[in-house]
Chain A
Amino acid sequence: MTTRRLVLSRGAALVGAASTGLLLPQIARAQSNKIRVGFMLPYTGTYAQLGVAIENGVRMAINERGGKLGGREIEWFKVDDESEPSKGVENANRLVQRDKVDVLIGTVHSGVQMGIQRVARESGVLSLIPNAGAHAATRALCAPNVFRTSFTNSQPTLALGKPMVDKGLKKAVWITWKYAAGDEAFEGFKESYTKAGGTIIKELGLPFPNVEFQALLTEIASLRPDAVACFFAGGGAAKFIKDYAAAGLKDKIPLWGSGFLTEGVLDAAGPAAEGVMTTLHYSDSLDLPKNRQFRLDYAKAFKLQPDVYAVQGYDTGVLLSQGVATVKGDIANKQALYRALETQTIDSPRGKWTMSKAHNPVQDIYLRRVEKGDNKVVGIAAKALSDSGAGCKLASA
């Protein structure tokens, strides 16, 4: 054994330790006038589609307004959060500590959002949430530097109860995945449905992300409710709709749900989705001039049809742009910036909306029915619906 037996075991550690600090490109924090915007979104995995849509929306909004923020150039950063909650803090810190972003836009998955929330509250970075609906972000854990442009998990379902009872569907079964988003969606449904006079005869849940629905569909049939209300999203939603129809329940027991049930999955679900009623703060078919224009522009720019995620991304870009413009680019003046963001009215493809005291959108929730593969808006299920913001210090101020 010679000393030349240089097993680079520790060498690897040495290289790893040293180069991370010294050899990796140091972000030259020169006296730049650029505003640093960081995306923390899922670019791989189940939600990759959503991450891309959100980023597209943000960029489109900012490009429409000249491609600058408050007259200042933008430097973009991104990190793929893989929808992996265990790396949430780490990835957020990458943008906040290493890339020193001024604004963090993210993310889709609520579990990851909790990690971002932690970093946002610790570091004070301006954090814009373009999707994750976890209640805590604008309730118990709200912060002056955290703004959400999407929804809370219970907002769509808060608008679900009354329309169902109005249609005479007074006994319902609720079904969803047993995880935070499902629980919070149920919270909204329970409140609105019971308040309107409905009875929830059973609450069914299956482990996330299990998609074997047959057992529970059989259970639903034997319970004989007037209707079924649910929360599912993505591939699981498409499967649920198809299984529901294949089990013959589609025409016997009306299916209602939080709008995510029919977002982005109508192609996959096919004719099985016809007639499904949902509530959401947006719909592709929304007949507003702003929406029509938005859809044309988006399709032209990205050769894709936009969805609610793209709209949320777009609104994030609009909010940021308007906010920074109001303070004329001086984002260092945080108090003024936050006040500017709080008081914006966003002229969105979903309709005009404003920020609640807890920094969540106060928005109209639309009632939609699936007709010919489209979510057709049949009415407004709730006007100017605001999340309670319970436990948020900003809301009680």
Chain B
Amino acid sequence: MRAGNPSSCEARAQTPGFARFAAHHPPTGTSRALLPFSMDLPNFLIQLLNSVQYGLLLFMLAAGLTLIFGIMGVVNLAHGSFYMLGAYLAWSLAAKTGSLALAIVAGTVLSVLFGLVLERILFRHFYHRDHLDQVLLTFGLIYIFEESRSILWGDDVHGVTIPQLLSASIPLTDNLSYPVYRLFMSGVCVLLALGLYFLISKTRLGMKIRAGAFNHEMTEALGINVKLIHAVVFALGVGLASIAGMIASPISSVYPNMGSQVLIMCFVVVVIGGIGSVRGALISALLVGLVDTFGKVLLPHIAGMLVYMLMAAVLLWKPEGLFKQ
């Protein structure tokens, strides 16, 4: 029984195999199974886990962005603001209702409504406009959203408590544990990814979405309400970003400008994956997660530039990203 870790008994029972191995065979200075870049196996595996978790969260954001981009052809620089919106909603609603779960449900509804309104009054008129105009529009929106956030919720740093149910940590080695909540987050991302896949490839709505992206006029000529499709897709994108912000809020805290930091990474993921391709966004998000995680540890001096170098390299090899839509 490890001191200070109250739930280690239950956690032990759920510990994945390799972690139990690591727990019984703690890595020493001269460890076994040294990998080429001088990281021992358990460490490597845990870093892999970190990469995947980060990648999955990025995917949530990138999926929304790539959908909006691919289906409606809109560049949305304000996507990070939706992430921030989710986080602030989670914080303020959780504070009011005392339950994060309730806050997430309510927050999702509010975000989707917000997305529908935004689409209707603003974005709808920009689908056929130049990308340049869209860049400008959404850049202006960032200003507006940031300032509105400041007026509505102030400039302080806030925290969101992890629900009791998910607050344990699973010991992976004798001194490192993995928070259950992060596993939960990854789980939610995977579920949403599956849901998205199902929606797009297996449902009639998904079929219409894909048709609309392929040929706008034809689809309309067939009597399908393309305007509605667009609204749905936009709201979906906003909702995904907002949910990402909400479930990440206990981990990331809630603070001003949190959207801008995640925005650029999100764009990189979308571009590497291929615009419009949700599958591409997933692969690319995992790739970025890997590069970011291992880069920090192995190549700290160029860690800041690494992801951009990756993007440049991918685009030079495949100028339209890894996957076409």
Cβ of B46 and Cβ of A269 under 8 Å apart? no
- Asked if residues B254 and A268 are in contact (CB atoms below 8 Å), the reply is yes
B:1-53 near A, CB below 8 Å: 3-5, 27, 40, 42-43, 46-47, 50-51, 53
Least CB distance from A23 to B in Å reads: 26
Contact A214 B261 (CB under 8 A): no
Closest to A253 in B: B175
A16 close to B (CB within 8 Å): no
Assembled-state Cα–Cα distance A224/B43 (Å): 12
Which residue on A lies nearest to B53, using beta carbons? A214
Q: Which residues of B contact A234 (CB under 8 A)?
A: 157, 255
B300 touching A211 by the CB < 8 A rule? no
A219 within 8 A of B: yes
Whether B206 sits at the interface, judged by CB under 8 Å, is: no
The chain A residue with its CB closest to the CB of B5 is A248
> Which of these binds chain B: A126-134, A147-155, A238-246, A355-363?
A238-246
Report the Cα distance A206→B306, complex, angstroms: 12
Contact residues in B for A238 (Cβ distance below 8 Å):
157, 159, 253, 255
Are B293 and A265 within 8 A (Cβ)?
no
**Alpha-carbon separation in the docked complex, A242 to B28 (Å):** 27
Q: Mark B171-200, 1 if CB is under 8 A from A, else 0.
A: 101011111011000000000000000000
Most buried by A among B253, B255, B258: B253
Given contacts A218-B176, A251-B3, contact A211 B169 (CB under 8 A): no
Contact B303 A206 (CB under 8 A): yes
**A48 on interface, CB distance cutoff 8 Å:** yes
B294 sits at the interface (CB 8 A): yes
Of the residues B3, B54, B182, B300, contact of A204 by C-beta under 8 Å: B300
Residue of B nearest to A217 (CB): B176
Residue pair A212, B292 in contact (C-beta under 8 Å): yes
Residues from chain A with a CB closer than 8 A to the CB of B256 are: 45-46, 48, 235
Q: Does residue B130 face the partner (Cβ distance < 8 Å to A)?
A: no
Cβ contact of A218, chosen from B46, B155, B169, cutoff 8 A: B46
Tell me the complex Cα distance, A238–B40, Å.
30
Interface residues of A in 30-75 (CB under 8 A from B): 44-46, 48-49, 52
- Give the nearest-CB partner of B253 in chain A: A238
Q: Which residue of B lies closest to A44 (CB)?
A: B150
Q: Is the CB of B251 within 8 A of A243?
A: yes
Q: B257-270 toward A: CB 8 Å interface, digit per residue (1/0)? A: 11001000000000
Q: For residues 224 through 273 of chain B, which have their beta carbon under 8 Å from a beta carbon of chain A?
A: 250-258, 261
- Decide yes or no whether A205 CB sits under 8 A from chain B: yes
Interface residues of A in 245-295 (CB under 8 A from B): 246-253, 264-265, 267-270
B158 in complex: contacting residue of A206, A251, A268, CB < 8 Å: A268
Task: For B29, give the chain A residue with the smallest CB separation.
Answer: A224
B92 CB, min distance to chain A CBs, angstroms: 14
Chain B residues contacting A52 (CB-CB under 8 Å) are: 155
* B171 and A248 within 8 A (CB): yes
Whether B296 pairs with A251 at a CB distance below 8 angstroms is no
Does B157 contact A235, Cβ atoms closer than 8 Å? yes
Specify which chain A residues have a CB less than 8 angstroms from the CB of B5 in the assembled complex: 248, 251
User: Does B158 contact A218, Cβ atoms closer than 8 Å?
Assistant: no
Number of chain A interface residues as a range: 35 or more
Which of A204, A251, A268 contacts B157 (CB under 8 A)? A268
B159 touches A246 (CB 8 A): no
Contact status of A247 and B300, CB under 8 A, knowing A211-B261, A234-B157, A268-B254: no
Q: Does the CB pair A249–B176 fall under 8 Å?
A: yes
> Contact: A235 with B40, CB < 8 Å?
no
CB B43 to nearest CB in A, in angstroms, measures 5
Residue B163 interfacial (CB < 8 Å): no
**A25 neighbours in B (Cβ, 8 Å):** none
Contact of B300 among A206, A235, A239, A242 (CB under 8 A): A206
Interface status of A2 (Cβ within 8 A of chain B): no
Q: How many Å from the CB of A101 to the closest CB on chain B?
A: 25
Q: Is the CB of B175 within 8 A of A48?
A: no
Q: Which residues of B contact A243 (CB under 8 A)?
A: 251
B159-A206 in contact (CB<8A): no
Question: B177 to A248, Cβ gap below 8 A?
Answer: yes
- Least CB distance, A304 to chain B, in whole angstroms: 10
Among residues of A, the one whose C-beta sits closest to the C-beta of B176 is: A221
B181 neighbours in A (Cβ, 8 Å): 246
User: Is A222 in contact with B155, judged by CB distance below 8 angstroms?
Assistant: no
CB pair A268 B159 closer than 8 Å: yes
**B interface footprint on A188-214 (CB within 8 Å = 1, 0 otherwise):** 000000000000000011110111101
Bound: A20/B303 CA distance, A: 44
A173 CB, nearest partner CB in chain B, Å: 12
For window 86-121 of chain A, which residues contact chain B by CB distance below 8 Å?
Answer: none
B133 in contact (CB, < 8 A): no
Query: Which residues of the partner chain B approach A18 to less than 8 Å between Cβ atoms?
Result: none
Chain B residues with Cβ under 8 A from A46's Cβ?
255-257
B177–A214 CB distance below 8 A:
no
* B161 touches A (CB below 8 Å): yes
* Interface 0/1 of A129-164, CB less than 8 Å to B: 000000000000000000000000000000000000
Whether, in the assembled complex, B147 has its beta carbon less than 8 Å from a beta carbon of chain A, the answer is yes
A216 contacts partner chain B, Cβ-Cβ < 8 Å: yes
Q: Is B304 an interface residue (CB 8 A)?
A: yes
Which residues does chain B contribute within 8 Å of A211, judged by CB atoms?
252, 261
List 10 extra interface pairs beyond A206-B303, A215-B296, A267-B157, CB under 8 A.
Answer: A45-B256, A211-B252, A215-B50, A221-B176, A222-B42, A234-B157, A239-B251, A247-B169, A248-B178, A268-B158
Query: What would be 5 A-B contacts, judged by CB atoms less than 8 Å apart?
Result: A212-B292, A214-B182, A216-B297, A248-B177, A270-B161
- The 6 closest A-B CB pairs, nearest first, are A248-B177, A268-B159, A235-B255, A251-B4, A207-B304, A221-B176
